[in-house]
Amino acid sequence: MTPEAAAFIVWLGWLYLLVGVVFAGFFVMRWAIRLDLAAGQSTPGFRVMIFPGAAVLWPLLVILLLARRSR
């Protein structure tokens, strides 16, 4: 693998993480309630706990939110 290819893969990883962090911020504040009504009554500690998972699993959560929206 060339250094340019490795740098590109690292750049893609950072981009994925950046998009995930931005998505997770919106998700824990507004969109989690669309998937689970109990999340609307959650504590700030719960939101802090789900933030890392939402940041990493954002593509799956986007698909779930879009599927829920189309119903």
Three-state SS annotation for 8-67: HHHHHHHHHHHHHHHHHHHHHHHHHHHHCHHHHHCCHHHHHHHHHHHHHCHHHHHHHHHH
21-64 confidence digits (pLDDT tens): 999 999 999 999 888 888 888 899 999 999 999 999 999 999 99
pLDDT at 40: 84
SS3 call for 1? coil
CA separation for the pair 2, 26 (Å, rounded): 37
Quick check: 71 pLDDT over 80? no
> SS3 of 69, please?
helix
Number of domains in the chain: 1
Q: Is the pLDDT of residue 70 over 90?
A: no
Give the per-residue pLDDT at 1: 87
**Structural domain contains residue 1:** no
Report if residue 42 sits inside a domain: yes
Domain membership flag for residue 4? no
Q: What domain range includes position 60?
A: 13-70
5: in domain: no
Residue 32 lies in a domain: yes
Predicted local confidence at residue 64, as pLDDT: 93
